[in-house]
Amino acid sequence: MQIRHDWTRDEIRKIYHLPFPELVYQAQRAHRQFHQPEEVQMCRLLSIKTGGCPEDCAYCSQSAHYKTGVAREPLMDPSGVVEAARRAKDEGATRFCMGAAWRQAPEGREFDTLLEMVRGVAALNMEVCCTLGLLTESQAGRLKEAGLTAYNHNLDTSPEFYGQIVTTRTYDDRLQTIAHVRKAGITVCCGGILGMGESDEDRIGLLHQLARLDPHPESVPINMLVPNAGTPLAAAPALDPLVMVRTIATARILMPASRVRLAAGRGEMSSEAVALCLLAGANSIFTGERLLTTPNPEPDDDERLLASLGMRAAK
């Protein structure tokens, strides 16, 4: 199987709607060509700057536009961040991702603090990822120099549906930051959220955008909406977990060499649904009791689940 960047929306639609056994079979075939099927990468998230974000993302607990009860916290000290990364490493994580509730990465003293954090985590020999909002080309270059491995910047949904989820920035703004990251030589982590009221066509549209990036994002997080009280999506109906499975399987077929991450929402899924996502080609999860502002499954439960499936954490 060769890696393609010229997928048409029609081809993707056909894959997405394949009969389930055929879809999962094709996803498994793609998965096994590029990955060890029993390995799952463990990633750890930390919110290094919480709340008060000027953007209006309809799903987010950290937007200043909504009353969600998430307390604002300033940028953390580098020492506390590096300490958290060391603990995560001791607990088996190989990738550490720092998230900040900003529209765009700041300049000046705060940016220097970020560089210090990146250097500190990189020195632990972990993959180091940041998600700080929009980034200029020069900022991407400085982060790369400090040792950043990956930058997370999600497209979230299709270009057509995007305006119903965020109005304070455009799809093109996002694509531009992704281009800056790529140009700086940092790997791209880019995916989306399911369960925001989007249609199958919107999920297909998101996958189309991702699969046409050349190179593909090295890492593709698929989040299931974690509904937050106070946000416009607080009462969004729960997603059928099989939609997660279908989307993950399609992502795996379209971008066979990428890591596909079963990201937010795992805590709301049954262990059977999680197992199906892993069977469909997800090979990375967030571990630890917290995502950014919301809870995540207990590490003991994750360990038990992987053991019961005969799977193991990637080294």
Site for ligand SAM in 219-278 (CB under 6 A): 223, 225-226, 228, 264
Cα-based angle 229, 230, 234 (whole degrees, multiple of 5): 55
Q: What is the DSSP string of 102-147?
A: -SB---THHHHHHHHHHHHHHTTT-EEEEE-SB--HHHHHHHHHHT
Annotation says 60 is catalytic: yes
Q: What is the DSSP string of 171-205?
A: HHHHHHHHHHHHHHTPEEE--EEE-SS--HHHHHH
Residue 37 — φ and ψ, nearest 5°? -65, -20
Contact between 207 and 138 under an 8 Å Cβ cutoff? The reply is no
DSSP letter for 266, please: G
Site for ligand SF4 in 116-145 (CB under 6 A): 133
Nearer to ligand SAM, 96 or 102 (CB): 102
Q: Is 154 in the site for ligand DTB (CB under 6 A)?
A: yes
Q: Is 152 in the site for ligand DTB (CB under 6 A)?
A: yes
Q: Which stretch binds ligand DTB (CB under 6 A): 33-41, 111-119, 166-174, 286-294?
A: 286-294
Annotation says 130 is catalytic: no
Per partner kind, with CB cut-offs from 5 to 8 A, the member of ligand DTB, ligand SF4, ligand SAM, none near residue 219 is none
Q: Which stretch binds ligand DTB (CB under 6 A): 143-151, 179-187, 288-296, 306-314?
A: 288-296
Copy the structure tokens of residue 173.
Answer: 């703004």
Copy the structure tokens of residue 104.
Answer: 């765009």
> Applying CB under 6 A, which residues contact ligand SF4?
53, 55, 57, 60, 62-63, 101, 103, 133
> Applying CB under 6 A, which residues contact ligand SAM?
59-60, 99, 101-102, 131, 133, 153-154, 156, 193, 223, 225-226, 228, 264, 292
Q: Catalytic residue positions?
A: 53, 57, 60, 97, 129, 189, 261
